[in-house]
Amino acid sequence: MLIQIYEITSPDEARGLSQMGVDHIGVLVGDDTFPREQSIESTRAIFAAVHAGSKRCALSLSTDSSFIGEIVARLRPDILHLGCAPELLGPSDVLALRAAHPDLSIMRSIPVIDESSIALARTYDGVANFLLLDSYRAGDRQIGALGKTHDWGLDRRIVESVNVPVIIAGGLGPDNVAAAIAASYPAGVDSKTRTDKADGTHTKDFAKVCAFIAAARSGITLKGRS
């Protein structure tokens, strides 16, 4: 079971999460268009602290292909995660990025709303390397970061409809991640809000992350994934 933790804000956090065995360490990278974005330079320092064995994920909410290209060129992330609303960036844009950066893995966020989410996910089958299923609020320019769960049954239908690894997100924490896994059979699970400290700083609570990892890897083996 892949463990993905966002939004990392410092080299110390990145180093600690690597030591804990987190598979995907994610940083929200931008130009201050959205709250909590790290600059490319700050992200470079965070990525430098990631140990071998963990993958460095650059989350971009931008729709500017030039800026996204700059993120890739300057940071060389293991995974580029595209998190803007679905109508702002489509499969053709992802294909263009893959053509420009053939060695780059790309993750695309999919808003989990209703039946249309299944059809949307299918349009990225064979286009993106990973799908990230997350909660969504109508009108937002970005997908996720709401700290709210959604229909895990719908997640499972998406997992069964595509041939790329699917990571589920949306309000997941130590107390509910095992249930989410049992309901949806994902390749991985993601946590941001519910592994943050309670002080409003949006920094990671290592005790919560440890508990999240333990719950997600508590011996559950699903469809050959572990």
**Any idea where the domains of the chain sit in the sequence?**
2-216
Encoded tokens for 30: 């931008």
What are 25's strand-pairing partners?
5, 56
Contact 142, 83 (CB under 8 A): yes
Strands 2-5 and 24-28: parallel
Angle at 89 between CA 112 and CA 40, to 5 degrees: 100
pLDDT value of residue 93: 95
Per residue in 33-80, pLDDT (tens digit) is: 999 999 999 999 999 999 999 999 999 999 999 999 999 999 999 999
CATH architecture of 2-216: Alpha-Beta Barrel (3.20)
pLDDT value of residue 226: 39
pLDDT band at 218; cut points 50, 70, 90: confident
Q: What are phi and psi of 194, to 5 degrees?
A: -90, 5
pLDDT value of residue 145: 86
Encoded tokens for 72: 């890739």
